[in-house]
Every structure is written in structure tokens, then in C-alpha cells.
Amino acid sequence: MRHQNTYRAAALKPPCAIGPLKVARPVAPVNGVSVVTGSHSVTQGRGALSNTSGRFERYTRDTFDDGWGDGSGNSPYDTFDDSLAESLKPVRIPTEITPEAPRTIISKNQSPDIPFDRSINPYRGCEHGCIYCFARPTHTYMGLSAGLDFETKLFSKSNAAELLRKELMRPNYIPAPIAMGTNTDPYQPIEKTQKITRQILEVLAEFDHPVTILTKNRMIVRDLDILTPMAEKGLARVAFSITTLDSRLSRLMEPRASSPQRRLDAMRIMTDMGIDVGMMFAPVIPAINDHEMEQVLAASAHAGATSAAYILLRLPREIETLFREWLLTHFPDRANRVMNRLLAMRAGRANDPRFGHRMKGKGVEADLMKARFTKIAARMGLLMNSHRNKDETMNVHDFLKTSTEKRTGGQLSLF
């Protein structure tokens, strides 16, 4: 084991709880970083292949090839488990939901390269299990892994609607569109039973407060009874994240999200109900889905999308290791090519966190990607208005009147 410094006291997971560890096979380098191939159990319906320790844990466990076994099961040294054949079967990991009681529910930000200054996340962790999700590292704050823990050990903010009501009732609250789906998906599978997102929308509708939603799940059509009247008042906009039209690739990258076709179907339904719908081609992964840009935008425009945007793949902190494992398992023939092209657009790093660089990248290929997107989006009529401009024109005036009436009980002050 390797000892690491820790900055807080956290309950330590014993080595056996870090995740199912299987037979180690030869080490394969990806851009100079060695990753053990085939050493991770197959998990049914999950994106990550391992449960590596977070950066705040005192201990980590690394798999490596000790030179004794070849991982075939024919060597007498291939004896990690009592039954090798049994251990290599797909593993089904159940989803655990833990109630969380935050003190506030609206998160604020001042990032200059995103089109909103506040957001709400009903859940911590996301059952969709997207391997590329930039929110994965936030799970390490809870003493959990950014890997399988992020998609199996979830936290629900059951008091979200109550907290939101209190914050909207404050006399000094200044309204602006609240973004949902910016960190974890508000319509991930557990929303079907938890219904926290719906409760939040009911409060926003009651206060005539504008909201924008980004999702990968068709479940959003369940809330048309709330969103349609809000959209008629200029209070609701929806966007769908569509990364590919290939259902097999989608199942590998985002195993529990709705299929691409179901997302397009939901887009058409919402458009027909008069709701303004946009799309995100995100993330763009070189040599994996970048060749689909034209087809995805065309399909989205046909389904009724009125605006589009894209984001280049970002691999902050623990996600880099998780993504490399995923690449070597599912696309070993192009793993080096994917990382080389990404690093070329990220100043030689897997993640460039600088404002103005992190979303689109820099360099020749990044410039070509931007020009290519702009050309096809313009042709499809998806560049008429940017997401930022549309959010700035959303209705905030009704909220001012409604919130004042609620605070005063319908009686306006004479002074």
C-alpha cells in the first residue's frame, strides 16, 4: 500500500471495500502512463471499471503485474480468487441512496465562460454513469471514489423544495434563471421514485421563477404539465445532451442514460408542446464521437432544436485515470490516438482549467473543430441565438410581482 497525506479525518475504507479486484494482466502504456489492462471486473450497467481511492483518502491500492501469472487462468499463480471463472463474471452493483440535508440549495458561481450564475443539483452522484462526467471528482469530498461509488452511492437532497422556497422568499433575492443539470442530471433514474426535481419545479412554477434544464433522460416529459405553462410565460428552457447516435457507443459511455433516439423523441415532444429546446454535443471525444458532429446536429435540428453548443472532453483529477481504463478496455486499438489528440488541444495536459480554454481547447485541431461546428450549426439554423442570449431574455418580471405578493400576503406596502 502507498501512504498519502490527508487533509481531513475521514472514515477509511478497508482495502476490500475499494472495489472488486480481478486478475492483473500485462501493463499497457498510454502516453507514458501505465495502466493494467483487463484488471477490472465488468460491471453491468455501469460506466466506470474501477473504484480507485479519492485524493483525500490516506491509502490507495494499485493493481500491477508482478510477473507471476499471465491472467489466463492456466497458470498456478493465477489465484487471486477462489474461483477464477466465477470472479470474471459480470458484477451487478446495486444503487444505494442516502438522504442529505444541505443548509442551502442554490449554488452560485462567477465563471465567465458559462451562461448562468446559479444552479440547483437535487442529487449528489449520478446513476447515468457517464465515464467522462466532470462531476465525478466531487464524490471524493464525501470520502468516496470518483469511480463506481459516484454512480452507485448517491445522495438525495430531500429537503430541496423547502430550502428553495425559503431562499426565494428572501426580500433581497434578485431573480435570474436557475440552471439544473449542470453538475449531475436532475432526471437520472432515481428521480422516478424520489421526485425531488419535480418538487423543485413546482416551487419555481409557483413563484414564476425562470429555469433552464439540461438532461440526458426522456423522463423529463413526465413534467410537461409543469414545464409547458412555464414555457408559455417565458420561464422554462430545456436542452438535451446528445453525444452520439450510435446506441452501442452510448451504452458504453453513458450506460443508464436514455438512448439517443429516446432523447430525440423527447426533444420532438417538448418542441411540439411549445417549449424552446436546445442541444449540447458534449463532450466531443477525438477518434470516438467527433466524426458524428454533423449527423448529431442534423438529427437534433430535425427533432426541433433551436440552438446548439459543444464542449471538448475534459479530464480533471481522478477522471483521467478512469477514462484511460475505459479506453484500454473498450477501444485498445485507438487509446493512444485519442489521448494524443486530446493532449494536443489541451496544452499537453488532460485538463486545462483556464477560463476560455477549458470548454473548447486551443490549437490547430481545436480551431478546425470550432469552424466545423459553426458551419454545420449555421446551416441547420442552430446559431440564431446563443444559450447565453436566450437565458438573458427569460422572464424575471413575473417573479418580482409574485414573490412580493407572497411575502406581504397580497397586501402591498404604502411606504
CA–CA dist 342, 350 (Å, integer): 7
Listed range (234-243, 320-329, 340-349) with the worst mean pLDDT: 340-349
CA distances from 268 to 276, 277, 304, 383 (A): 11, 9, 6, 19
Rounded to whole angstroms, the Cα distance separating 6 from 152 reads 24
**What's the chain's average pLDDT?**
82
Strands 118-120 and 178-180: parallel
Task: Give strand pairing partners of 308.
Answer: 279
The string of DSSP letters for 192-220 reads HHH-HHHHHHHHHHHTT--EEEEES-GGG
Lowest-pLDDT range, 16-25, 93-102, 190-199, 246-255? 16-25
pLDDT band at 16 (very low <50, low <70, confident <90, very high): very low
pLDDT value of residue 11: 35
Say how far apart CA 259 and CA 218 lie, in whole Å.
Answer: 9
- pLDDT greater than 90 at residue 122: yes
Q: What is the pLDDT of residue 201?
A: 98
pLDDT of the residue at 24: 34
* 36 sits in which H/E element: strand 33-36
Residue 404 has pLDDT above 80, yes or no: no
Specify the higher pLDDT residue, 403 or 160.
160
pLDDT of residue 311: 93
Residue with cell 442554490: 106
Q: Is the pLDDT of residue 121 over 90?
A: yes
C-alpha cell at 214: 439540461
Lowest mean per-residue pLDDT among 51-65, 117-131, 309-323, 346-360: 51-65
- Residue 58 in this model has a pLDDT that exceeds 70: yes
Give 132's pLDDT tier (boundaries 50, 70, 90): very high
Q: Which of 407, 397, 411 shows the shortest CA–CA distance to 171?
A: 407
Instruction: Report, as an integer, the average pLDDT of 215-242.
Output: 97
Q: What is the pLDDT of residue 395?
A: 78
Which of helix, strand or coil describes residue 148?
helix
Q: Indicate the domain borders of the chain.
A: 96-392
Cβ contact 412:404 at 8 Å: yes
For the chain, state the CA radius of gyration.
23
Place of cell 465515464: 131
Task: State how far the Cα of 81 lies from the Cα of 23, in Å rounded to an integer.
Answer: 8
Which pLDDT band holds residue 44 (cuts at 50, 70, 90)? confident
pLDDT at 9: 32
DSSP string, 290-353: GGGHHHHHHHHHHTT--EEEEEE----TTHHHHHHHHHHHH-TTTHHHHHHHHHHHTTTSS---
**CATH code at 96-392:** 3.80.30.30
Q: What count of residues does the chain have?
A: 415
Q: Higher model confidence: residue 79 or residue 347?
A: 347
For the chain, count helices (H), then strands (E).
14, 14
Is pTM beyond 0.75? Reply is yes
Contact residues for 309 (Cβ-Cβ < 8 A; gap 6+): 278, 279, 280, 281, 282, 386, 387
